[in-house]
Amino acid sequence: MNTLGYHYVIEASECNPEILEDPKKLKEIILEAAKIGEMEVKSTYFYKFSPRGVSGMVVVSGSHISIHTWPERSYAAIDVYTCDVDSKPEKSLQYILEKIKASYAHITEIERGIEDEDGTYTHTILSWDEEPEE
């Protein structure tokens, strides 16, 4: 079996709303997360919605890290996807959760690009919940 990538889908709850509506701060967090995850940044784009919310994308050598925020709900939807076997996506996502001050996160890991015997591709899914230690 040869996997083409790992895709982490994160539902982050009870985050700091001030951080979630600050595109400059979120860009700083995501860029540092890419560095911590040993991913080479290729491009970035962050957009602030009116009246609230931010969407941001960092394209990395292996794929991307993205965030979409709803400050009024203290919620962020985060994706970390990489095909780079040398990167550390788990470190990236942990850093992001820490910096946006998430009190709870539901994380799904999707192992993508698993080639079946007939040449078609599929994926596997594993999910878990995380809460910060007191």
Query: Of the residues 63, 74, 87, 92, which is catalytic?
Result: 63
- DSSP string computed for 86-109: T--HHHHHHHHHHHTT-SEEEEEE
Among 131, 51, 59, which residue's Cα sits nearest to residue 94? 131
* 27 Ramachandran zone, left/alpha/beta (phi>0; psi -120 to 50): alpha
What distance in Å separates the CA atoms of residue 3 and residue 76, rounded to the nearest whole number? 28
Query: Of the residues 13, 55, 66, 68, which is catalytic?
Result: 68
Instruction: Please say if 63 is a catalytic residue.
Output: yes
Query: Of the residues 55, 83, 103, 123, which is catalytic?
Result: 83
What distance in Å separates the CA atoms of residue 48 and residue 81, rounded to the nearest whole number? 23
Distance of CA 24 to the CA centre of its chain: 17
**Catalytic positions, please?**
63, 68, 83
